[in-house]
Structure 1
Amino acid sequence: MMAEPTEIQSILGLDVSRDTVTLCDGRRHTVTVANEADALRAALLPYQGTATLAVCEATGGYEDILLGVLLELAIPAHRADPAKVKAYIASFGKRAKNDPIDARWLSRYGRDRATTLPRWQPADPTQQKLELLVARRLDLVAMRVQEQNRLKAPRSRLIADNIRDHLAELERHIEALNAEIDTLVGESRDLALRAQQLRSVPGVGPVLAPLLLAVIPELGTLNRRQVASLAGVAPHPKDSGKANWHRSTTGGRRQIRPALFIAALAACRGDNPLAVAYKALLKAAKPKRVALTAIMRKIITIANARVRDAVRHQNEIGKINA
């Protein structure tokens, strides 16, 4: 694979849809090609070896073929957050939207932020499979909750048997996914090490550990503020002039916070340092909600530190053995 040029000279905006990809190299001219490897390879070949950065949006998987071709041609790429691109366009007061316009905006977005945009790297196949399995499990658990609520509804008597059959089927699928997730983690030395460290944190059980591995793969490489922010438990200031409002915990990756809340409840009921810290916060007249949020933050920061130390130790042993 060729090294990325030290200085990016042109930005290639690529608007991806299910069937097509529209390219814009910074000028007004755009071209649309089929979202297929051969067509994309032919369109992108002229940019191979040039100081070009390709920018596309995350589209739920439709961009995978494009990113694979860019990797093959050694063209550095950035997969942008659609919300950030949308906010960037809105900052100019523009509303018009179609594929060529979006491609031009992506090119401009990349041009303005080229030095700060992280370069896309292909995901590890095991990590990618874990993310898909965990995401599917979350979907099925949400369906189970919906069906359980329907079963409790006063008018559900006529369809109760159908709902129970569906619940039983969902339970079977969830158990099968749990087994597949456990097998996948156990077969990977790195994931097994991380999972072991996560399970050593009070409140972190067999459901939260793989969820953290899947949703926050950066765990162990972040500082305590970064990991708390990703988990949605970092207090953000909301001050203006002389007004000082209560700091609230917002943002983060939405799947983590509900699971951390359950973990905090479990930890606070046990016999461990987190339970002691929770009682100390209540004794200091902190509201239960605030105290639980503090414990959630402690859980994720402790988990991050333990994974970091374990990976570091493993790497040191690997160097010694080499």
Structure 2
Amino acid sequence: MALIGASQSIAAPLGLGLAAAGANVVDVPATLAARARLLTTGGGRKTDATDAASVARVALHHHRLNPVQPEDQSTILRLLTEHRDDLTHERTRILNRLHGLLRDLVPGGAPTGLSADKAATALRGVRPANATDACRRDIARHLLAALRRIDAQLKNSETELSQAVTATGSSLTELPGVGVIMAAKILGYVGDVARFPNADHVASYTGAAPTDASSGPRKRHRLNTGGNRQLNSALHIIAVVQAHHSHLGRAYYQRILGEGKTPAEARRALKRRLANIIYRRILKIRNNDFSATS
């Protein structure tokens, strides 16, 4: 069975339910279905019937479509990391708003590197001179309470992520620059590593592999701006850490620089190498699990 966006769209519950029941379900990208529809009669008009026929054609002729897998530990990791990202963004928003209010309330401006404790200390010294300042102080107090709640949620989130990563048996946290949160994000977004034929496909999925831009006899490559941006960002952070604080990572980075490459090019090369290392580590975990259940 083939479904459009079976892992991300409104068809996701149906696709996951069928996969959990043992059915073979593949995820057909909407772009491929749209291209197939253009090749039919009718001027590419979109109807339920033409959609179903286009999806079926794509499923029959493309043999590298991703199978829909039942939800597992990687789904839990992705949900937890997305929730943590939401909390982090909300914390930043509250801090910015709180900083703006304290700037107007505290002589000389609000303290830098604002935290809940620093904000509480600053608010204790506020003596409103008028009703407007009293309103600012009350709003700041509400924001401070919200900030403390989010800080507590972030602390609990890290504990949950640590337990979820430990449950996978992953060794990613042994790599320099990969903490619990980073490992959870990688494992959550990679998902079932078996859907990638080899390390090159993982590198392409993360945007760490350059895209071919050759023309005729001229061979050249272009920076890949596609791929999963969450994984690409994670690889970038790990590469920056390893380029400066890891013996092996720094040695590789310096070697690429010695070949005449720019720092940005050397970081991209390190990201590509890290994609291979991460793929092998995740694949090893999966193979061990498979052997244990065979």
Same fold (TM over 0.5): yes
Picking from 169, 185, 203, the partner of 2:149 is: 169
The AA in structure 1 aligned to 2:164 is L
Matches within 5 A, 1:16-165: 53-58=1-6, 60=8, 62-67=10-15, 70=18, 76-89=24-37, 94=43, 96-97=45-46, 101-117=47-63, 118=65, 120-148=67-95, 157=104, 158=136, 163-165=143-145
Picking from 174, 179, 197, the partner of 1:200 is: 174
Alignment-derived partner of residue 42 in structure 1 = none
Counterpart contact for 2:6–2:26, Cα < 8 Å: no
Q: CA deviation at 1:216?
A: 0.2
CA distance in 2, matches of 1:231, 1:119: 16
The AA in structure 2 aligned to 1:178 is E
CA distance in 1, matches of 2:265, 2:83: 31
CA distance in 1, matches of 2:44, 2:255: 52
Counterpart contact for 1:199–1:205, Cα < 8 Å: yes
The AA in structure 1 aligned to 2:280 is A
Alignment-derived partner of residue 185 in structure 2 = 211
User: Identity over aligned residues, as a percent?
Assistant: 23
CA distance in 1, matches of 2:68, 2:141: 48
| 1:183-215 deviation digits (Å, cap 9, x = unpaired) | 2333x3xx12x2xx2112222122111111100
SS of the counterpart of 2:229? coil
Alignment-derived partner of residue 133 in structure 2 = none
Counterpart contact for 2:161–2:180, Cα < 8 Å: no
Q: CA deviation at 1:65?
A: 4.6
Counterpart contact for 1:202–1:299, Cα < 8 Å: no
Greater CA deviation, 107-116 or 162-171? 162-171
Counterpart contact for 1:55–1:107, Cα < 8 Å: no
CA distance in 2, matches of 1:200, 1:72: 33
CA distance in 1, matches of 2:95, 2:39: 44
The AA in structure 2 aligned to 1:217 is G
The AA in structure 1 aligned to 2:236 is F
Greater CA deviation, 261-270 or 175-184? 175-184
CA distance in 2, matches of 1:130, 1:87: 34
Instruction: Give the structure with the higher percent strand.
Output: 1
The AA in structure 1 aligned to 2:186 is L
The AA in structure 2 aligned to 1:216 is V
CA distance in 2, matches of 1:199, 1:60: 28
CA distance in 2, matches of 1:86, 1:181: 38
Greater CA deviation, 116-125 or 136-145? 116-125
Q: CA deviation at 1:228?
A: 0.8
| TM-score normalised by the chain length of structure 1 | 0.66
CA distance in 2, matches of 1:73, 1:80: 19
Picking from 271, 279, 282, the partner of 2:257 is: 282
CA distance in 1, matches of 2:282, 2:203: 15
Runs (5+) with no aligned partner, structure 2: 105-135
Q: CA deviation at 1:262?
A: 1.3
Q: CA deviation at 1:95?
A: 6.3
Picking from 253, 256, 274, the partner of 1:299 is: 274
Question: CA distance change for structure 1 residues 123 and 156 in 2, over 3 Å: closer, same or farther?
Answer: farther
The AA in structure 2 aligned to 1:57 is G
| 1:291-310 deviation digits (Å, cap 9, x = unpaired) | 11111222221121133335
Matches within 5 A, 1:166-315: 166-186=146-166, 188=167, 191-192=168-169, 194=170, 197-219=171-193, 222-241=197-216, 246-313=221-288, 315=290
CA distance in 1, matches of 2:180, 2:52: 41
Alignment-derived partner of residue 115 in structure 2 = none
CA distance in 2, matches of 1:155, 1:243: 59
Counterpart contact for 2:33–2:54, Cα < 8 Å: no
Counterpart contact for 1:219–1:304, Cα < 8 Å: yes
Runs (5+) with no aligned partner, structure 1: 1-52
Structure index of larger Rg: 2
CA distance in 1, matches of 2:149, 2:184: 23
Instruction: Give the structure with the higher percent helix.
Output: 2
Q: CA deviation at 1:111?
A: 2.1
Counterpart contact for 1:130–1:214, Cα < 8 Å: yes
